[in-house]
Amino acid sequence: MRVQLTKTFDFDAAHHLPTFPEGHKCRGPHGHGFRVAVRVEGEVDEAKGYLLDFGEITAACEPIRKKLDHAYLNEIAGLENPTAENLARWIWQRLKPQLPLLSAVIVYESATSACEYRGE
């Protein structure tokens, strides 16, 4: 049986988007309550009855959540232009080594706006 599991984590952070046009509301400093959904996919081990313990996903995500929470994202190496797209890729690059079954990272910067990244 093939399944997808999704685990979410939240963090609050500020940023500015330096490549947006002058006068755009996102070019200046502002903040978001971000939600990140981390999805893994694969075949269930029939002997165990599950794909992956949700706790393993949480453990892989926690150092990333701590680094991002209450941070100014532009000051984090690799996030000098912290768009939702770049943030999703940045998180993917740090999670993939710990979660080989990673299939998607979805970054919600609001309840209605999100970016889904599935690797290169």
Give the catalytic positions in this structure.
Answer: 26, 70, 109
Of 105, 78, 84, 62, nearest to 13 by C-alpha is 84
What is the C-alpha separation between 61 and 97, in angstroms, rounded?
12
Structure tokens at 42: 């694969």
**Which of 66, 70, 64 is closest to 14 using CA atoms?**
70
Which token pair is 58? 């949480």
